[in-house]
Amino acid sequence: MKYLDGRADPVSVRWVDNQQHRWGSCTPESGTIRISTRLKGLPEWVINYVIIHELVHLLVPSHGPRFWALVEQYPKAERARGFLEGFSVAAQTAPEEC
């Protein structure tokens, strides 16, 4: 990926239905990345942010300063985080259908 100079090379990236509280997850030991199907239909730049976030976990497993410095290489990182925060709040407060 152009934001990580090709350093993060996942074995697989796939959509999953079983993530109700996470946008994505990564297992650095196996190089696998899973992206929640809840993201389907959201803007591509938001999905790309989640993928980049998980790719960085292949390089830095924790959420420390080095991790965030790499994530911030994505130009829309802050905007995407704000979008996801707003999306989460809206989903939690949406009225139930009758």
What string of H, E and C letters represents the secondary structure of 15-35? EECCCCCCCEEEECCCCEEEE
Confidence of residue 84 (pLDDT cuts 50, 70, 90): very high
For the chain, the domains span 12-92
pTM as predicted: 0.89
Q: Specify the CATH superfamily of domain 12-92.
A: Metalloproteases ("zincins"), catalytic domain (3.30.2010.10)
Residue-wise pLDDT tens digits, 13-66: 999 999 888 999 999 999 999 999 999 999 999 999 999 999 999 999 999 999
Q: Which two tokens stand for residue 16?
A: 């999953």
Q: For residues 56 and 7, what is the distance between their CA atoms, to the nearest angstrom?
A: 9
Stretch (H or E) spanning 83 = helix 77-93
* Residue 86 predicted with pLDDT over 90: yes
* Residue 95 predicted with pLDDT over 70: no
Residue 47 confidence (pLDDT): 97
The DSSP bridge pattern shows strands 32-36 and 12-16 to be parallel
